[in-house]
Structure 1
Amino acid sequence: MTAAWVESRLGVRLVDGPRPVGAGLADLVGLAVRRNPRRAHLLVSAVLGKHVPTDPRLVYGSGLLLGELVRARLRGEEPPGIGSLLVDAVRGVPGTAAGLRDLLRAPRRPVDAVVVGYAETATALGHSVADALGDAYYLHSTRRPVPGFAAYGGFEEEHSHATSHLLLPADPAALDRDVPAVLVDDELSTGRTVLNTIEALHAVRPRSHYVLAALVDLRGPADRDRTDALAARLGARIESVALAEGRVELPDDILEAGKRLVSDLSAPAESDGTPPAAGPGAASPAVFPVSRIDLDWPPGLPDGGRHGFLPAHRARLEKDLGRMAETVADRLGDGAARVLVLGFEELMYAPLRLAETLADTVPDADVRYSTTTRSPVLAVDDPGYAIRTRLTFPAHDDPADGPGERYAYNVAPASGRDGFDRIVLVVDGAGDTEALTGGLLRRLRALAPVLVAAIPSWRGA
């Protein structure tokens, strides 16, 4: 991944630690600069599919691999051997992303657990961990209050720009069981978020075993001591697994230096992917068509884990994924050499699974996957920086915290890079609004033909 630009300007350093599956910290993350006064840097994952369009088979395979580390810890077994598959897949060696995924989705003995993922970045990652366990109940936190669903608990993500999270299970009894609870996030920086969650869950239903699972674990000795202290106070076992460990070294003045850098490089110099304005006599920017597709989403199947996702839901989705991917492939037509499947904020898992199935269905196309996000990040069109371009548009799902900007990163072409020749935008019913048409769709149709697939927002049985 790309970290050189931030390292040279802010003095931030990635330092490798243990490599449980052969990948180092620098293999899995790059660096960018946040537009956030509480945290200057952003770790940009090479395997999450959030900010960087990524082979969806690598994204899903990495989530399954993390789930296999959880399984091994719960069952007291050795973790799976994958050789160099993960590192090779990150480096783009042909066939390795699909090979990693296929190796890890082979049938294994199911493990019962409650898996909780964190909105918005880890919603699909948590799903993938639950998939690997086979018999797990999955729920992700949400920033979207939904009428008719009572909050089971909440917690604060202290470094985030939008900190209110809710747990809204449709069936609290599925969550309220004394089985291991697995808390999944893309990174563990200090661990405060997961410890807050454990306290909230334990206050409602004490459990004997918790596992923290992350793509990268950056906690220092004091953070780990805090985890041990909580375990002792609760009388519970708290363990952790990650694909890579290490630390981020930050200079003392990082927050002020980050603010100055954002101020110096902000618009109009910042690269946001906007087509240049047409001057007198110049041709107008291209406007590509937008069309819609009916996926025939299975009736009664949740769009994700916002209100809970059961093993039976997982089996139903697997049954219909191939059919839905074929429907998309038919509409893409010939000439779709580079395709982006773009998800929507917390709606990450359904677009991911559709994208990785589409990649198998149209093997001649380069299918990539990423999602829109709330996170404000500086974009710099430099090969040593992880966020090259940024699309900015208004929120389109009537968020409870009011209107605001939303973003899609690395979707517009950067200098020296080709863009996408098809974009498949996957949204849920709550986000399929007039504001979508006048905002994000207007930005996307300046880049490529857009196919919109709307999945019904699940409201319960």
Structure 2
Amino acid sequence: MTEQTTTEQTTTEQTTTEQTTTGIAAGVIDRLGVRLHPTGAGSDPRVLLGLALRRNPRRAQLLVSRVLGKHVPTDPRLVRSAGLLLGGLVADALADRPARTLPVPLLHAAVEGDRTAVAALHTAAQAAIGEPPDALVLGFAETATALGHCVAEGLGGADVLHSTRRPVPGFATAGGFTEEHSHATEHLLLPADPGLLRGGRPLVLVDDELSTGRTVLNTITALHRASPRERYVVAALVDVRPAGGELPAGVAALGARLDVVSLARGVVDLPPDVAERATALRAELEAVLACTHTATREHPDRDSRVELAGLGWPAGVPAGARHGFGAAEHRAFAAALPRLADALAPAAGMRLGERTLVLGTEELMQLPLRLAQTLADAGHNVAFSTTTRSPAVVVDEPGYALTSGITFPAHDGPADGPGPRFAYNIGAADWDHVLVVVDPPADTPALHGGLLPALAPYTRRTTLVVTP
């Protein structure tokens, strides 16, 4: 999973803006020795992914998706298209028919920044949506919360739930599992209706990246113990598992069927001494990255706040799938988006032609993504990304995936305690406007003293958008 993180976290709790390391360590990835190669049909993983160096002694490389909207500000229509296309492959697997041919040239052109290709890809992906199967989609927090939702949309509006690291008063834990390589290892399942996880219908597990399959197998094993079923489908944007592996054998040992689908397949070649190389590179780079400064608010009079509840958000419709999202919610959500975006644009003071970033926060990805996509459909120049728990090394050099980053304290009272959070590649553009989307538990003094001032050097205006 792309969000797999480290136990080596920044100790400071002040808001900081990271200095980049231009000229300090040219060719970081070359020196690390990590190579990504395509295998099989589908998209080229080298187009969909970039490479960066983790701050993690257990794993050297970070695979940075260019179509996920997590670490890289991305056209929201491209992000949604990737999820819808993946949903189409899941539909083919569930129907036991040959996988459809992906529009690879169009997808690659969209990733390379062709806005005409982006619009065409989104139109084609929406046109391919069929009738929903009787299946449950489960997205992994934090990176695949929106991706899982988009896969469910690609399946015609299937039931969807995403895991969470945030306990919620009034919601009992219906299950959980461990993500062994992550900083925050424990995932909770908090459906409003515990029956959502019961029954024998197929379960579709969605992640941005399959590197070993261990997290998916942990999840399937835990859920199968509580509620056995005959069939599982695993869907990922990119599958870079080594040949064989434990996932197929583990699911077979449970007496269940497994299908795995992805937009791209590849293999990651690592030199035998990759851990030593990574340690040496981190030591060299951290001396520079330790040179941080406290960001200052330059235009406090130009900030604004918008509450979606006052713009006509439909009563009873959740902002995401933390507690489950069914057919009725899909319909109400889709119907509300155009008028909600129409109301948000003037309320936030958005102007056509400006460069706008819609920034989600950790697990809160789906609503910011769909707002951004709807605004882009209306003609706004919008990119989408989200904050993350993932600590990684920032290097300002051509070809490196994370060229800038900001660090700020957690602002939603996390159950696992305070700690730093990050947003990457914010400095890749001169933003006219940043819309930061949070839910009420994340609208805290730590937000107003942390993330918001950290963004100030990169944008002329900031609007805080609060969900119901």
Q: TM-score, normalised by structure 1?
A: 0.90
* Corresponding residue for residue 446 of structure 1: 457
Displacement after TM superposition at 1:258 (Å)? 1.4
Q: Contact 1:272–1:392 at 8 Å: present in 2 too?
A: no
The answer to whether the aligner puts 1:367 opposite 2:382 as a matched pair is: yes
The answer to whether the aligner puts 1:132 opposite 2:154 as a matched pair is: yes
Distance 1:385 1:270, change over 3 A: farther
* Corresponding residue for residue 219 of structure 2: 197
The answer to whether the aligner puts 1:87 opposite 2:108 as a matched pair is: yes
* Corresponding residue for residue 420 of structure 2: 405
Measure the CA separation in 2 of the matches of 1:445 and 1:291. Answer: 13
Q: Deviations 1:114-134 (Å, cap 9, x if unpaired)?
A: 111100011100000111112
Q: Contact 2:138–2:162 at 8 Å: present in 1 too?
A: yes
The answer to whether the aligner puts 1:344 opposite 2:361 as a matched pair is: yes
In structure 2, the gaps of 5 or more residues are 1-25
Bigger mean CA deviation after superposition, 60-69 or 131-140? 131-140
* Corresponding residue for residue 167 of structure 2: 145
2:84 match: secondary structure: helix
Q: Deviations 1:176-230 (Å, cap 9, x if unpaired)?
A: 121110010001101000001110110111110001100011111231xx23322
Bigger mean CA deviation after superposition, 243-252 or 288-297? 288-297
Distance 1:26 1:292, change over 3 A: same
Report matched runs for 1:12-27 at 5 Å: 12-20=34-42, 23-27=43-47
User: Aligned to 1:425, which of 432, 436, 442?
Assistant: 436
User: Aligned to 2:398, which of 383, 387, 391?
Assistant: 383
Distance 1:247 1:401, change over 3 A: same
- Letter matched to residue 291 of structure 1: S
Bigger mean CA deviation after superposition, 227-236 or 402-411? 227-236
Q: Deviations 1:123-150 (Å, cap 9, x if unpaired)?
A: 1000001111124211111111112222
Measure the CA separation in 2 of the matches of 1:258 and 1:194. Answer: 26
Displacement after TM superposition at 1:79 (Å)? 3.0
- Letter matched to residue 56 of structure 1: P
* Corresponding residue for residue 109 of structure 1: 131
The answer to whether the aligner puts 1:66 opposite 2:86 as a matched pair is: yes
Measure the CA separation in 2 of the matches of 1:186 and 1:389. Answer: 22
* Corresponding residue for residue 264 of structure 2: 244
User: Aligned to 1:183, which of 184, 205, 215?
Assistant: 205
User: Aligned to 1:322, which of 332, 338, 341?
Assistant: 338
Displacement after TM superposition at 1:156 (Å)? 1.4
Measure the CA separation in 2 of the matches of 1:306 and 1:248. Answer: 32
> RMSD of aligned C-alpha atoms?
1.9
- Letter matched to residue 13 of structure 1: R
The answer to whether the aligner puts 1:294 opposite 2:307 as a matched pair is: yes
Measure the CA separation in 1 of the matches of 2:385 and 2:177. Answer: 26
2:427 match: secondary structure: coil
Displacement after TM superposition at 1:56 (Å)? 0.3
Q: Contact 2:197–2:227 at 8 Å: present in 1 too?
A: no
Measure the CA separation in 1 of the matches of 2:352 and 2:323. Answer: 39
1:196 match: secondary structure: helix
* Corresponding residue for residue 354 of structure 1: 371
The answer to whether the aligner puts 1:77 opposite 2:97 as a matched pair is: yes
Distance 1:185 1:118, change over 3 A: same
Identity %: 53
Measure the CA separation in 1 of the matches of 2:293 and 2:375. Answer: 26
Bigger mean CA deviation after superposition, 299-308 or 81-90? 81-90
Measure the CA separation in 2 of the matches of 1:191 and 1:288. Answer: 49
Q: Deviations 1:335-386 (Å, cap 9, x if unpaired)?
A: 652110000000000000000001011x2x4210000001101111112210
Bigger mean CA deviation after superposition, 109-118 or 292-301? 292-301
Q: TM-score, normalised by structure 2?
A: 0.89
Measure the CA separation in 1 of the matches of 2:280 and 2:349. Answer: 44
Measure the CA separation in 2 of the matches of 1:401 and 1:371. Answer: 20
More contact order relative to length (CA 8 Å, sep ≥ 6): 2
